[in-house]
Amino acid sequence: MGEVDPTFIQDVEHRPKLTITEAEGIPVIDLSTLNSPDISTEKNCKELASLVAEVKNACKKWGFFQVINHGVSLECREKIDLASRKFFALSKVEKRRVKRDELNSMGYYDTELTKNVRDWKEVFDFTVENPTMIPLSHEPDDKELKELHTQWPDYPPELREVCEEYVQEVQKLSYKLLELISLSLGLSAKRMNGFFKDQTSFVRLNHYPPCPIPHLALGVGRHKDAGGLTILAQDDIGGLEVRRKTDGEWIRVKPTPDAYIINVGDTIQVWSNDEYESVEHRVVVNSERERFSIPFFFNPSHYTWIEPLEELVNEKKPAKYKAYNWGMLFTHRKNSNFKKRDDENLQIHHFKA
């Protein structure tokens, strides 16, 4: 992405124009400007500045937005969707041959395995970097690392290939979005890219079977994402709900064909020094139809220390968080999936300055 004069962006962002109104749901943003072969022309610079302003407005008001004309091919998305459906159609015995455990948190699990009756779903997780390095424990003094490896099933045989192809395309989108967010904060486009050099990102294939008691269960309970960005592909069934910042109401995200749903995570909230907020969301279940979705969790390297960026801190806006290590937080969250903890799961409010 080419550099744009920040003063031009600041001028445009005072009059952003969202694609749809808040009353209709979270904004839908067209990224076609980024597909131009020469983004440095005056016309494209103006369009880019307008795009950055839309992203800024969506991040501040919602913490969520959808993107269209994003550059990820429909063919690639269709292939991973089909392979995902083939995998989840297997018997539980077959799927559990690649179940996750305390040593490797990548693989298959379902609510029966986790003893979690709140979440009505089954998933398959795979890493972006193979292997992915994370701390062995969440203890600050423990410097030992461990490797996360994806446990690929034998069937469907094409699953690994289509998943790896999908990752390549969605990663490109991740960096485009990261650069737009960086520009929207008045920073250089690539200011945050280096934090993802040895990323701990992973992809999750979700399957939500029809639920006979939809009034008593959720697909995923209310939560916030801890990482940088989440890039979600969902089918036409829908089910994602976002807690609107203005009044706390739960707003259903209407599926948009071939769109991705984007939300900023806790990490960007801290980097932005609370300029942007990671927002609560949940997934409701369907009593009649199964639902599939694919979130890409764009996470920093294990050795990254998360704290407000120095450019966004001054006397009038002091740092609102103390620095914390991403790998320690990531491991703490993963370990809590297997052991009942006496302490509360780590949240960014634990690091408030």
Cα–Cα–Cα angle for 194, 185, 22, nearest 5°?
A: 120
pLDDT for residue 336: 61
Let me know: does 305 contact 329? Beta carbons within 8 Å: no
CA pair distance 326, 303, nearest whole angstrom: 7
Percent of the chain scoring above 70 in pLDDT: 86
Closest CA to 146 of 351, 334, 346, 338: 334
pLDDT (0 to 100) of residue 4? 45
- Pick from 275, 307, 155, 180: nearest CA to 231: 180
Q: What's the pLDDT at 123?
A: 96
Q: Are strands 64-68 and 28-30 parallel, antiparallel or unpaired?
A: parallel
pLDDT tens for 127-184 read: 999 999 999 887 777 789 999 999 999 999 999 999 999 999 999 999 999 999 999 9
Which amino acid appears at position 184 of this protein? Answer: S
The secondary structure element, H or E, covering residue 206 is: strand 202-208
**134: which strand partners?**
146
* Ramachandran category for residue 315: left, alpha or beta (phi over 0 → left; psi -120 to 50 → alpha): alpha
- Mean residue pLDDT across the chain: 88
What is the per-residue pLDDT for 137? 80
Please give the domain boundaries of the chain with CATH numbers for all domains.
69-351 (2.60.120.330)
- pLDDT score of 23: 40
- pLDDT (0 to 100) of residue 24: 56
pLDDT at 5: 44
Let me know: does 234 contact 81? Beta carbons within 8 Å: no
Q: 232: part of which helix (H) or strand (E)?
A: strand 229-234
pTM equals 0.90
Low-confidence ranges of the chain (pLDDT < 50): 2-23, 341-343
Bond before 257 cis per omega within 30 degrees: no
Q: What is the pLDDT of residue 18?
A: 34
| 3-state secondary structure labels for all residues of 26-79 | CCEEECHHHHCCCCCCHHHHHHHHHHHHHHHHHHHHCCEEEEECCCCCHHHHHH
> pLDDT value at position 309?
98
